[in-house]
Structure 1
Amino acid sequence: MAVENNVEDATITQSASTHPIAVNWLTDNSDLLVQYSVNIVSALIILFIGSFVVKSVSKGLINLLEGKRVDTAVVQFIGSLVRYSLLVMVIIAALSRLGVEMASMIAVIASASLAIGLALKGSLSNFAAGVLIVIFRPFKSKDFIEVAGVSGTVQTIEIFHTVLNTGDNKMIAVPNRLVMSKPIVNVSRHKTRRINFEIGVSYQSDLNKTKQVLARVLESDTRILSLPAPTIGVLALTDSSIKIAVRPWVKSEEYWKVYYDTLQAIKEELDKEGIQIPYPQMSVHLNKTSV
């Protein structure tokens, strides 16, 4: 037994003598290691709690704005902006808990911002354009717009792009800088819209009778507004027909329903009255010549 104890003591003594530097470093810096561990745990706690608080604040702000009946597109933009700003503040707080000095951090952020700004110039212009969209409000949520060669119903205005939903249910994300740099056609801004028909009739048609038939079609549809009054008049004399302009006014939400129904009704009424709608024709005359 005494021999075994002597062997164990010799082993421990040998191990301690083999790594004296490591043992001494751990002993001398135990307080520092504890402090670093506490700082790391504190930073993780700040990140965890901070992200929860940011989510709650952002959601609360969105609910508040929606309660004030602020436009949905604007609400989403402000909510995203506040959320990302608060997340940056949480990350800075966590880094400062790890011992990173604020002055150095600000200098690094400034330098990084300059480099990122040059690299992501398009993204920054999208952000600036998004701010302008929110300020000047050329459209709002649920408006049907045409912009940058696409058209659709506005769903949300994000920080970098505007989300549209097309008539065939496709999502289109248009960069905000394109939205602000291109002409915007807002179909839903006004409560009423004018439908522009161009009806071609043959040169043999009685124009007064034709205009009476067209007026009767418009008067029979209660969805067509009496004020402003519809306009019916000769628009152009083309190669194969006389173009008659028919311009009724309708409520914006009923535009396409009235468009389709009225066009069909015009065709049916003209057929009943024997008024021909011609199509382009080419007459070829052959002259016989003697050789």
Structure 2
Amino acid sequence: MEKQVHSILEQVDGLLPLLLGYAGQFFLALIVLFVGWKLVNAVTRATGRMMEASHIEPTLRGFLLSVIGLFLKALLLISVASMVGIATTSFVAVLGAAGLAVGMALQGSLANFAGGVLILLFRPFKVGDSITAGGSSGTVTSIEMFRTVLLDANNEIIYVPNGTLSNNIVINSSESDRLAGSVSLLIDYQDDMDKARALLLGLTENDAQVLKVPAPSVSFLPKPANIQVTLGFWCAPGDVSALVAKYSESSIKVLQKEGYRLGVTARNVA
């Protein structure tokens, strides 16, 4: 019995340095984990303040901060695991392979995500702008990470992938302080062109929505059977549609009232 107790004590004496060594490593790992977690949070907050000072979009700012925080915390956990003797090489390899597989499967979605990041970062347009891109036109109501939502003239909602917007031509009508509008009609060759010019320009004289510089103009284009007369004007971007509709009606009425033969398809040969 005494020999067995002595043997056990010898084994404990042999394991004690090893246990103390592991306990020291585990305690050190806990300290590194605690301090590192606090440090990651501090770095994330500081990065957020820098992004806010740089006027980065809140949507993009929140996403980037989440990615940075998760990445740094993952690195911290892997480092702590290696400190206590856990093999992390296979774990990192599995994560890399899984990330590659997911990236290949979500290639299209990742392209839209990257497009959303570029849009939010470089801001070619913002919420409230009127844009035309990818065959769609409308007012931007929201910019999401994977798509941009437009509201067109028919009050229909259009979802445009951000990858399309970032890789194609985008016309932003709201970036300019003025846009051109025009209304065209057809008159007969026998009609008085100078009078038509005066009548059409008279429609815009007292219109506060029409800019005086550049001044409104009237141009004429000969056609085989008639003459195309065009009233051109400049106005604020948001007034173009309303003014085109207004002058389309008023120009027809004023010319008809003066006896102009609008929209003739053949010349009147007497």
Give the TM-score of the pair, scaled to structure 1.
Answer: 0.64
Map Cα deviations across residues 228-255 of structure 1 (whole Å, 9 max, x no partner): 1112121x21133201222100111222
Corresponding residue for residue 256 of structure 2: 271
The change in CA–CA distance for 1:101 and 1:261 in structure 2 (over 3 A counts) is farther
1:132 aligns with 2:118: yes
- CA deviations on 1:152-200 (whole Å, 9 max, x unpaired) are 2112222222222223333322111111222211111112111022221
Once the two structures are overlaid, the 10-residue window that deviates more, 206-215 or 220-229, is 220-229
| Aligned counterparts of 2:65 and 2:216: Cα–Cα separation in 1 | 49
Aligned counterparts of 1:164 and 1:158: Cα–Cα separation in 2:
11
Match of 2:206 among 220, 227, 247: 220
* TM-score, length basis structure 2: 0.69
Rounded to whole Å, the distance in 2 between the matches of 1:160 and 1:168 is 24
What is the rounded CA distance, in whole Å, between the counterparts of 2:125 and 2:101 in structure 1?
A: 34
Q: Is the Cα–Cα contact under 8 Å of residues 77 and 157 in structure 1 kept in the other structure?
A: no
Aligned equivalents of 2:158, 2:64: Cα separation in 1: 21
| 1:49 aligned partner | none
Q: Which runs of 5+ in 1 are unaligned?
A: 1-53, 284-291
1:76-113 CA distances to partner (integer Å, 9 max, x unpaired)? 2333443466567778989999x986554433222111
Cα distance in 1, alignment partners of residues 54 and 65 from structure 2: 19
What's the counterpart of residue 15 of structure 2? none
Number of residue equivalences: 220
Q: Which structure has the larger Rg over C-alpha atoms?
A: 1
Q: 1:144 to 1:214 in 2, by over 3 A?
A: same
Any stretches of 5+ residues in structure 2 without a counterpart? 1-40
Deviation at 1:140, TM superposition (A): 1.3
Q: Displacement, 1:282? A: 9.6
Kindly provide the amino acid, as one letter, of the partner of residue 198 in structure 1: S
| Cα distance, 1:174–1:278 mapped onto 2, change above 3 Å | closer
Decide whether the 8 Å contact of 1:225 with 1:248 is kept in 2.
Answer: yes
Matched, 1:208 2:194: yes
- Aligned with 1:195: secondary structure? strand
Structure 2 CA distance, aligned partners of 1:142 and 1:70?
18
Paired residue for 2:183, among 197, 200, 207?
197
Matched-pair contact (CA < 8 Å) for 1:192–1:250 = yes
RMSD (CA atoms) = 3.3
Aligned to 1:143: 129
